[in-house]
Amino acid sequence: MSSLMSGAQPGSTMSPFATDAGGPCNSGQFFLAIDPEGFSAGLFADRFATLAGSITAQEGTRLPGLSRLATRQESLARGTIEVDRELLKRVRDCTR
């Protein structure tokens, strides 16, 4: 159904993304945004917090984005953003 809605080819008829073999990959995307609060009687945030807590309480687990969020908060607290020197040089070279 998502192939029909996005105009994409089914996976078996797509060309590879990484090479030019077979021409354009003929892929498409379909995004459906749902507000979970509309289906949870206003309890989504609490339920998610409970689920996230049970996941992170297990040794060796993490939730995607938590380290990025921590890094962002550290950067905001410092007032600076760390950027690799070589990357910064390459970016500056592109602007000249």
pLDDT of 50 higher than 90: yes
For residues 87 and 76, what is the distance between their CA atoms, to the nearest angstrom? 21
Q: Residue 72: what pLDDT?
A: 92
Reported pTM: 0.47
Q: Residue 19: what pLDDT?
A: 77
For residues 51 and 46, what is the distance between their CA atoms, to the nearest angstrom? 9
Q: Residue 15: what pLDDT?
A: 72
* Pair 14, 28: CB distance under 8 Å: no
Higher per-residue pLDDT: 3 or 32:
32
Identify which of 45, 51, 49, 5 has the alpha carbon closest to the alpha carbon of residue 28: 5
Dihedral, CA atoms, 4, 6, 8, 12, nearest 10 degrees? Answer: -60
Q: What is the mean pLDDT of residues 32-58?
A: 91
Q: Where are the beta strands (DSSP E) in 25-72?
A: none
